[in-house]
Structure 1
């Protein structure tokens, strides 16, 4: 197994992978992640027995390098990430790099995220996806609509992409923020948490990264339920922006 060594020792990072019924994809994803030599926290978000069994086997196979946190019920991606960040704090890690279990993220970019985190230890290092011609028009324009709402709600173009879950979180700072602002528990989490981070003057470093499509073809996005949650999230943020408008304008100008 290879090992990537940070140019700075200012951070103590681990890889955080929320998993829900991706028993096929997680095997390959974890194998690729392990090549970089970082500790890994797998968060089983109430998966079925087939996936839970695979996760237990992987944790046993990699022994001291992989920790498994099993949640009794499926609470959603946001809930799994929040649970993982609290667990990483208890384990003494300063940063958690969130990686999707389904193989969507370009894991070759892990060193770039870690290097950026070592240079900016108090910043959120956020993935900025680079798509090719294979992306569907529906997916592209759907994401762009969210980008527009985010720019409105922050009065800023700082956030290049609010939906990419490939991120390096400073654990202590985000756990403190999430105590005051829990954010959504499902597909609305990624966007809401980065907007609220920017509202409290948190630094954001955007890192370009290519996006792959899930290798097992499994998506947990519920077209109706998750779109309702995302719409409600944008509504909350819009009225939150209005309440903060004088402060946001003061900071901007």
Structure 2
């Protein structure tokens, strides 16, 4: 095993300060990218997707809030347990994270194609409290390209044709205007690696963090009075 070079405190501070400038550049570039993400157009959802054996529709997943983030959890109906990688990510979803998202009018939920009974059994075994819905029997997973089956639809993953089949990970964002529902964003593959913490999730949404410094202006009143992050 190798370790970093040992230097004086003065040399370390100089190197750290130089790296900080690059970190600031990345932060500003990420802010610009997030602003462009919020400028993306959106697509109205016209299909009546049903969840939990028909007891819930997509609107119900919002739980009355303005925006919805759906984690596409890989859980094939034939499997007895969920995907290990998705499980590791779900382990990091705390009640505190969901409360912070809810304070900005955002609901975080998971959706899998496994039957509801399997989901509830696995969820209880893991001790999870977040909402997790079954899309079993629905087109939802196929339409959002996280269940890949050429017999059902042309295979597309991460916005390109792929020679893949089966379940795949992803995350999708939605916003509602009354009862009209819109798809604003989806990410797949390594795009989902950095989502952790409420700001990272909020940066994916059409309304963003809802803080006054963000571009474009005027997306929401929810964040007014919220404590802003430090300047980049």
TM-score, normalising length: structure 2: 0.30
Give the structure with higher Rg (CA): 2
Could you say which structure has the higher helix fraction?
A: 1
Could you say which structure has the higher strand fraction?
A: 2
